[in-house]
Amino acid sequence: MSTDYGDADPFQWDTREDCQVRQILDRIADKWSLLVIALLDNRRLRFTELRREIDGVSQRMLTVTLRSLERDGLVKRTVHPVVPPRVEYELTPLGATLHATIQSLVTWTEAHQEEIAAARESYDHREAEAV
C-alpha cells in the first residue's frame, strides 16, 4: 500500500470517505435495502408483493432500491414476458451470504428492543429533570 494510512492498528480499518467498504456499507445499510434483503430470504417475490410487505415504501423507492441491489449483484431480477408483466426478485448467492449477516442484525434488534426502549426512557427522563 503506497499511501499508508493507518494499517498500523490491527483493530483499525480504512475509514476514508472514498473507501470501497464505506461506500458499500452506506448502500446496503440503507433503510429499504435492509428490509428487502431480509424479506427475500429463500423466496421469490413479485414487485407488488414486496411493496405490500414493506409498509410505507413508495413505488419509486422500491424501484430505486431494487435497482441498486441488482446492480450490486445481490438481487436477481427476472422478467416473464407475459401480459400483464410479471417480474420476480430473489437473492443471488452473493445476496444470500449477506442475508445471514442482515438477519443477525434484525435478530439482535428484536432481542434488545426492550433494553433500548428502557435506555431511551431513562435518558429522556434525566434530560427532562435536568431542565
Among 60, 111, 124, 129, binds DNA (CB under 7 A): 60
* Residue 28 in the binding site for DNA (CB under 7 A): no
The CA–CA distances, whole Å, from 93 to 75, 98, 123 equal 9, 9, 42
**What 3-state class would DSSP assign to 20?**
helix
Cβ(78)–Cβ(32) under 8 Å?
A: no
Closest distance between DNA and the C-beta of residue 23, in Å?
12
44 binds a second copy (CB under 8 A): no
Residue type, 79: V
If binding is defined by CB under 8 A, does position 7 make contact with a second copy? Answer: no
User: Sheet holding 86-91: strands in order across?
Assistant: 45-46, 86-91, 75-80
CB of 52 to DNA, least distance (A): 9
Positions in the binding site for DNA (CB under 7 A): 31, 46-49, 56-61, 63-64, 66-67, 77, 84-87
